[in-house]
């Protein structure tokens, strides 16, 4: 064997140390009961804080809603008067526009009424396109929130 020129690498004398194959568990700080207890305490506290904030938000919403409801009769009364003025204008406008059409009756298609089973003086709210019939089309679009599409 002499004259090879290198030395074969071999295990140390007495062999390698034994291999670490045993499971080394981490140190446990909390048991199962304590974990659940902490979870319960934290969750309960978080819910209480959440509910506290939610209550104050609800209170503010109710206050604003109350203010709006308090002035609603005033706004509705004013709106009703404007609305009826416009409805009368629409009827007058239709009468003027269709004066030359023979057989035309205002508020009907020739002699065909919309409703047949209710009385003559029955109130219904006109459809939106009817209400804006003699207006600028842009007003109708803006009121129905489609002015940004068309």
Distance between start and end Cα atoms, the chain: 98
102 binds another protein (CB under 8 A): no
Phi and psi, residue 130, nearest 5°: -70, -40
Shortest distance, position 88 Cβ to another protein, whole Å = 5
Choose, by CB under 8 A, the member of 30, 34, 59, 142 that binds another protein.
59
Q: What is the dihedral of CA 20, 23, 27, 31, to 10 degrees?
A: -170
Tokens (6 digits) for 70:
């308090």
Taking the C-alpha atoms of residue 84 and residue 60, their distance in angstroms, rounded to an integer, is 35
Applying CB under 8 A, the site for another protein has a residue count of 50
Choose, by CB under 8 A, the member of 52, 54, 55, 91 that binds another protein.
91
Choose, by CB under 8 A, the member of 38, 46, 118, 146 that binds another protein.
118
Choose, by CB under 8 A, the member of 55, 81, 96, 142 that binds another protein.
81
Residue appearing with tokens 């938000």: 57
Torsion over CA: 3, 7, 11, 13 (sign)? positive
Question: How many C-beta neighbours within 10 Å does residue 132 have?
Answer: 20
128 binds another protein (CB under 8 A): no
80 binds another protein (CB under 8 A): yes
- What are the residues binding another protein (CB under 8 A)? 59-60, 62-78, 80-81, 83-85, 87-88, 90-91, 94, 97-98, 101, 103, 105-114, 118, 120-121, 123, 126, 130, 133
């Amino acid at each position: 064997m002499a004259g090879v020129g290198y030395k074969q690498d071999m295990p140390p004398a007495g062999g390698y140390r034994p291999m670490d194959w045993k499971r080394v568990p981490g140190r446990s700080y909390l048991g199962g009961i304590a974990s659940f207890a902490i979870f319960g305490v934290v969750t309960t506290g978080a819910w209480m804080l959440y509910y506290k904030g939610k209550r104050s938000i609800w209170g503010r919403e109710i206050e604003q809603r109350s203010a709006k409801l308090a002035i609603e009769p005033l706004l509705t009364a004013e709106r009703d008067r404007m609305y009826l003025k416009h409805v009368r204008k629409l009827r007058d406008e239709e009468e003027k526009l269709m004066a030359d059409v023979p057989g035309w009756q205002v508020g009907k298609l020739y002699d065909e009424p919309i409703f047949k089973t209710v009385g003559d003086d029955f109130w219904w709210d006109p459809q939106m396109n009817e209400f804006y019939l003699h207006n600028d089309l842009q007003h109708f679009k803006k009121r129905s929130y489609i002015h940004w599409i068309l």
